[in-house]
Structure 1
Amino acid sequence: MKLQSVGKASRWYVYQKIVIVFILFLLPLISMNIWLNYKGMSITKDAILNSSLAGASFYSKQLDKEMYFIRNLQLQLLNDKDLQKLSFRGSMLENYEEVELIDQVRDRLGTLTVSSEYVVNAGVYVEAVGKTISTDSGVTNTPNEEMKLISSLMAVTPKPSFYRSGSRIFFIETENNGAVWSYIEISRPKLLEALREIANLYPESEVLLGDKEAGTVLTTAQEPGEPSSILGLLGEESLHKPDAPEMRKIHGVNYFITPNDVSSLHLSLVMYVNQNEITRPLSQFITWFYTLFIIAIIVMVLYSFSVNLMIHRPLTKLVKAFHMIETDNLNIMIESKTKDEFHYVFNSFNNMARKLKNSIQDNYEQKIALQRSQLKQLQSQINPHFLYNSFFNIYMMCKVGDSDSAAELSQRLGSYYQYITRSGADEVTFDKEYRHALDYCDIQCIRFSNRVRFEYEEQTEVPATITVPRLIIQPIVENVFEHAFEDGMMEGKVYIGTEYREGKLCVTVEDNGNLATDVMIEQLSGKLATDSKSIENTGLINVNNRLKLKYGPGSGLTASRSRHGGLKINLIIIPET
């Protein structure tokens, strides 16, 4: 019976899907809670905003009425009969009459000053008598500092609704074609106090008096940039809708802005309140909302944790075990502390891993047996062929009387055959294998009558404890003598070197033969790189397969063009740790 999985592979874990479904069930409840909380907050916030709007409107109207009252008093002063008489008859009056009229005007100015707390100084300039009369400096002949100040302010065109000199604010009116000036200085501290009364309606609220052309006349704000930003918004039509405060963000803070016109000054009185202060009374609603929301989050977290503990962790443990099997690690057993369904799954996995390990072990032992048979077959092939040629060479040396060469060849030959025919361990130290390859080179150089020479490096860096399979270097050297010098070249050379670095052993065999073409080298390199499952009885492929089987894919042989012109074979071994 075949079991099939339906559908495409998912990137989501099982426990994630379960948690998502649970969250989807909770979403309607959370959404209803959010909606109810938002609705309640909106209704309450509107009521608070309407209250703030009414308060700001009341205070701005009171200020506007007070400014109109002061202006009316100023106009009445200009029409005062004593002031008019002093203006028209100033030069014709007797001293006592002039003094009497001036005292009458001073009394009128005093009355005007005490009539409103916003007036700090009231004065007139009468051109006919050449004097200024004020509650602050008294009667002073002109020109004087007060007259010069008022005169400089009157030079401003077009005529503003009020005049400013530094931090001082003045109402200035003229009569009789400029023969009489009336000026009233408005108390800046009192105006600021009035603005602060409006600002005290809510904490963290500020009030400013000004417009886009005149700039900020007065403000309760400590930050210099806020009033300018507020005035920049006054041109928007939405800010001039009655009974409709607008919210704007200034310097990263949301403010509710309530503008009111102060027509007596042709200015706007703007109250702006931090949104957080408006919603502060709603903190109870917010507290309950966040409490319920946190409870929902805790429930979801606890549920997610329980699903993760009971389902995801066992599944993750099983998936990790399968990943370890994919990396050829079969020494793994999953422990189960519970007696649920996962206990059965884990036991089944352990049985599967154990059977797979046994199966691989059996297959590995079969390959080792095959490798040994290949080695024996290689030894049996080397023995007769090489032995016949060597005996013939000894025969020819004896016949020509070269007894020294015959003796040396016989000694090398005996040592050579003693190494390859010795039964016992399949592995030897690298030094023995390397010396055996050098003996083979000595034998071949004698056989070739010294028309072929070899050079080698003493291997001093390779640890003495490293062991390698037998007969892995000599077949590579044999390939050089059989194929590189078939054309009978007179100065053949073989180069043998070793290198051991960072746990990696490399043996290099090169020659200067000219028979290996680029095509042949490329074909040989392709065969060595291919993971061939066929059985090669002799040659480089046999050695390559044995090394890969023993040490893994990183080991084996590679072929390339030698810097000496011939073939270069690299034997790479990464010893097992």
Structure 2
Amino acid sequence: MKLQASGKSSTWFVYQKIVIVFIVLLLPLITMSLWLNFKGMSVSKDAILDSSFAGASFYSKQLDKEMYFIRNLQLELLNDQDLQKLGFRGGTLDNYEEVALIDQIRDRLATLTVSSEYVLNAGVYVESVGKTISTFSGVTNTPNVEMELISSLLSVKSKPSFYRSGDRIFFIETENNGKIWSYIEIARPKLLEALKEIAKLYPESEVLLGNKELGSILATEAEPAQTTGILALAGSGDLNSLETPTKGSMHGVDYFIIQNDVSSLGLELIMYVNQNEITRPLSQFITWFYTLFIIALIVLILYSFSVNLMIHRPLSKLVKAFHMIETDNLDITIESKSKDEFHYVFNSFNNMTLKLKHSIEENYEQKMALQLSQLKQLQSQINPHFLYNSFFNIYMMCKVNDAESAAELSQKLGSYYQYITRSGSDDVPFVKEYRHALDYCDIQCIRFSNRIAYEDGGPSGIPPAFSVPRLIIQPIVENVFEHAFVDGMDDGRIYINADYRDGRLRVTVEDNGRMVTDELIAQLGERLGDDSKQMEKTGLMNVHNRLRLKYGPESGLFISRSVYGGLKVELIIIDVSEEAS
């Protein structure tokens, strides 16, 4: 059964993906919490401002109504019949009637004074009797202080909504072409007290009564510079709305400004408060919000750390172990201190590596046994004709009394069979293997009646202790004698060379035979490159497979055309131990 993983390859770690998904899922909640927090702050702030605006608007309307009420009483006083009679007939009335009218007017003034707490003093000036009548100074002949003060205020050409004399505020009206004056002094302390009541709508707020032209008439703020700046902000174009609270900044401080029109005085009642004072009740919610936000970040960090600890580290340990297996290092085990799923995975991995190691060892032993059996097979493949011809040559040499040649051939033949039939280790020093191949060449050259010769380039740079498997060069030379010179050529040559450089042994066997075609060379190359297990195990194939089994796929036999016209066989061995050092 084949299990296939879905999805595309990625360079992200698993725990990074988990953390990113967690953040993506958590981000909308954090964003919504932020929005709800600031939206709630905005709604609460607007509610506070609306409440303050409604309260200030209510008090300003009440004050405006009170001022209109006082003005109406003043106008009614001017139209009083007793005052009109005194104004028209003041010089013609007898003393009793004049005194009676004056008493009536005094009573009306007293009633006007008590009708509103904002009235400090109410009085009239009657030119026909030359007297001023007021609740403050009574009936006084003119000229007097009150009459002179009112006269100076009336000298203003354009009639204002009210008159000012220092800190004193007056309502002044005239009748009968200025022959009757009615003046009412507004109680400044009471008016200031009313402004302070409005300021109590919100802590730390201040209220002023005034406008841009006249400046601050009355204010709860003790600093004139502050009130002047607020009036400048209130009179600017973008803050001239009387419907909703507006904002302004002065000396780096943001203010909420609430304006209400007091038309009876031609002034504006302005309430202003530091924006921080408005948001101060909300500061604890802001603190809690940021505390929760920091807690959320800490939870995210702890979650990431826990995912890294519980998932990423075990996975990284497992991945590193697999990387080590890829380098053929099977002496590795993963320790697990937990009892979770990774404990099972690690134990399974350890069991797998152990079984794999045992399987490789068994396979290696089998291959070594196969290699030994191939060597035994090669040793048993002694050509009877080669043995018969060798003995026949010795016989003929004895017949012709060539004892020296017979002795030499007998010695080489004995050395040859002693080498191929010996038991023991499969590996022998290279110089012995090379000498054995030359002995074979000597025997064959005698057999072929010296029609064939060989040239030995000699080993070059071979380490004395360098060992190779037995019978790896002689089968190559044997192949030359069996196939290259079967046409009976008289001048056959074999060229043998060996050199060792940088951990690489190269043995070259070439001939000048005429029997090897390009097609045959190609076929031999394909057969040597085929990894099929059904290949024959004799001759060149036997040597090639043994070399690849022992030294790896880069070692073995390599076939090509020789520069001498025949076949060129290169035996290459990569000394892995030498390369590693």
* TM-score where L is the length of structure 1: 0.53
Q: Could you say what secondary structure the match of 2:554 adopts?
A: coil
Amino acid at match of 1:24: V
Which position in structure 1 is the counterpart of 2:404?
404
Structure 1 position 562 matched with structure 2 position 555 = no
Q: Are residues 302 and 464 of structure 1, via their aligned partners in 2, closer, same or farther at CA, if it must alter by over 3 Å? A: farther
Q: Distance in 1 between matches of 2:431 and 2:335?
A: 46
Q: Are residues 291 and 534 of structure 1, via their aligned partners in 2, closer, same or farther at CA, if it must alter by over 3 Å? A: farther
Q: Could you say what secondary structure the match of 1:534 adopts?
A: coil
Instruction: Describe the superposition over 1:231-288 as per-residue Cα deviations: whole angstroms up to 9, x where unpaired.
Output: xxxxxxxxxxx99xxxxxxxxxxxxxxxxxxxxxxxxxxxxxxxxxxxxxxxx9xx99
Q: Could you say what secondary structure the match of 2:382 adopts?
A: helix
Q: Distance in 1 between matches of 2:480 and 2:441?
A: 10
Structure 1 position 496 matched with structure 2 position 490 = no
Q: Could you say what secondary structure the match of 1:329 adopts?
A: coil
Q: Are residues 398 and 355 of structure 1, via their aligned partners in 2, closer, same or farther at CA, if it must alter by over 3 Å? A: same
Q: Could you say what secondary structure the match of 2:435 adopts?
A: helix
Q: Distance in 2 between matches of 1:403 and 1:288?
A: 117
- Counterparts of residues 245-256 of structure 1 (less than 5 Å): none
Which position in structure 2 is the counterpart of 1:337?
337
Displacement after TM superposition at 1:402 (Å): 3.4
Q: Could you say what secondary structure the match of 1:494 adopts?
A: strand
Instruction: Describe the superposition over 1:389-426 as per-residue Cα deviations: whole angstroms up to 9, x where unpaired.
Output: 21122223333443332221111111111111111111
Task: Give the superposed CA RMSD.
Answer: 3.4
Which position in structure 2 is the counterpart of 1:356?
356
Which position in structure 1 is the counterpart of 2:443?
443
Q: Distance in 2 between matches of 1:24 and 1:378?
A: 71
Q: Distance in 2 between matches of 1:38 and 1:484?
A: 98
Which position in structure 2 is the counterpart of 1:430?
430
Amino acid at match of 2:457: E
Displacement after TM superposition at 1:24 (Å): 0.9
Q: Are residues 424 and 28 of structure 1, via their aligned partners in 2, closer, same or farther at CA, if it must alter by over 3 Å? A: same
Q: Are residues 449 and 339 of structure 1, via their aligned partners in 2, closer, same or farther at CA, if it must alter by over 3 Å? A: same
Which position in structure 2 is the counterpart of 1:574?
574
Q: Could you say what secondary structure the match of 1:382 adopts?
A: coil
Q: Distance in 2 between matches of 1:10 and 1:511?
A: 55
Which residues of structure 1 form unaligned runs of 5+? 41-241, 244-283
- Counterparts of residues 183-222 of structure 1 (less than 5 Å): none
Displacement after TM superposition at 1:564 (Å): 1.5
Amino acid at match of 1:525: G
Displacement after TM superposition at 1:512 (Å): 1.2
Which position in structure 2 is the counterpart of 1:254?
none
* Contact map agreement 1:434 1:473 (CA 8 A) in 2: yes
Q: Are residues 296 and 427 of structure 1, via their aligned partners in 2, closer, same or farther at CA, if it must alter by over 3 Å? A: same
* Contact map agreement 2:494 2:511 (CA 8 A) in 1: yes
Which position in structure 2 is the counterpart of 1:68?
none
Q: Distance in 1 between matches of 2:542 and 2:325?
A: 29
Q: Are residues 364 and 9 of structure 1, via their aligned partners in 2, closer, same or farther at CA, if it must alter by over 3 Å? A: farther
Flag the structure with larger Rg. 2
Amino acid at match of 1:537: K
Displacement after TM superposition at 1:428 (Å): 0.6
Displacement after TM superposition at 1:27 (Å): 1.8
Q: Distance in 2 between matches of 1:10 and 1:534?
A: 39
- Counterparts of residues 478-557 of structure 1 (less than 5 Å): 478-534=478-534, 536-557=536-557
Displacement after TM superposition at 1:294 (Å): 8.6
Displacement after TM superposition at 1:473 (Å): 0.7
Q: Could you say what secondary structure the match of 2:428 adopts?
A: strand
Instruction: Describe the superposition over 1:496-517 as per-residue Cα deviations: whole angstroms up to 9, x where unpaired.
Output: 1112122111111111112111
Amino acid at match of 1:329: N
Instruction: Describe the superposition over 1:197-254 as per-residue Cα deviations: whole angstroms up to 9, x where unpaired.
Output: xxxxxxxxxxxxxxxxxxxxxxxxxxxxxxxxxxxxxxxxxxxxx99xxxxxxxxxxx
* TM-score where L is the length of structure 2: 0.52
* Contact map agreement 1:532 1:545 (CA 8 A) in 2: no
Structure 1 position 16 matched with structure 2 position 8 = no
Q: Distance in 2 between matches of 1:353 and 1:305?
A: 30
Q: Could you say what secondary structure the match of 1:459 adopts?
A: strand
Which position in structure 2 is the counterpart of 1:420?
420
Give percent identity, aligned residues only. 72
Amino acid at match of 1:340: D
* Contact map agreement 2:394 2:410 (CA 8 A) in 1: yes
Which position in structure 2 is the counterpart of 1:232?
none
Q: Are residues 293 and 438 of structure 1, via their aligned partners in 2, closer, same or farther at CA, if it must alter by over 3 Å? A: farther
Amino acid at match of 2:419: Y
* Contact map agreement 2:458 2:496 (CA 8 A) in 1: no
Q: Distance in 1 between matches of 2:366 and 2:499?
A: 33
Q: Distance in 2 between matches of 1:323 and 1:372?
A: 34
Q: Distance in 1 between matches of 2:504 and 2:292?
A: 64
Displacement after TM superposition at 1:293 (Å): 8.7
Structure 1 position 311 matched with structure 2 position 311 = yes
* Contact map agreement 1:484 1:511 (CA 8 A) in 2: yes
Amino acid at match of 1:345: V
Amino acid at match of 2:399: K
Q: Could you say what secondary structure the match of 1:458 adopts?
A: strand
- Counterparts of residues 265-284 of structure 1 (less than 5 Å): none
Q: Are residues 438 and 3 of structure 1, via their aligned partners in 2, closer, same or farther at CA, if it must alter by over 3 Å? A: closer
Displacement after TM superposition at 1:305 (Å): 3.5
Q: Could you say what secondary structure the match of 1:457 adopts?
A: strand
Q: Are residues 486 and 342 of structure 1, via their aligned partners in 2, closer, same or farther at CA, if it must alter by over 3 Å? A: same
Q: Are residues 292 and 571 of structure 1, via their aligned partners in 2, closer, same or farther at CA, if it must alter by over 3 Å? A: farther
Displacement after TM superposition at 1:289 (Å): 12
* Contact map agreement 1:484 1:515 (CA 8 A) in 2: yes
Q: Are residues 535 and 525 of structure 1, via their aligned partners in 2, closer, same or farther at CA, if it must alter by over 3 Å? A: closer
Q: Are residues 466 and 23 of structure 1, via their aligned partners in 2, closer, same or farther at CA, if it must alter by over 3 Å? A: same
* Contact map agreement 1:466 1:575 (CA 8 A) in 2: no
Displacement after TM superposition at 1:547 (Å): 0.7
Displacement after TM superposition at 1:329 (Å): 3.1
Amino acid at match of 1:497: N
* Contact map agreement 2:493 2:511 (CA 8 A) in 1: yes
Amino acid at match of 2:313: R
Q: Distance in 1 between matches of 2:297 and 2:566?
A: 74
Which position in structure 2 is the counterpart of 1:7?
6
Which position in structure 1 is the counterpart of 2:458?
458
Q: Distance in 2 between matches of 1:377 and 1:500?
A: 29
Give the number of equivalent residue pairs: 337
Which residues of structure 2 form unaligned runs of 5+? 41-236, 239-282
Displacement after TM superposition at 1:478 (Å): 0.6
Amino acid at match of 1:419: Y
Q: Distance in 1 between matches of 2:509 and 2:520?
A: 17
Which position in structure 2 is the counterpart of 1:322?
322
Amino acid at match of 2:507: V
Q: Distance in 2 between matches of 1:558 and 1:15?
A: 51
Q: Distance in 2 between matches of 1:33 and 1:398?
A: 115
Instruction: Describe the superposition over 1:365-410 as per-residue Cα deviations: whole angstroms up to 9, x where unpaired.
Output: 2222222112111111126443222112222333344333222111
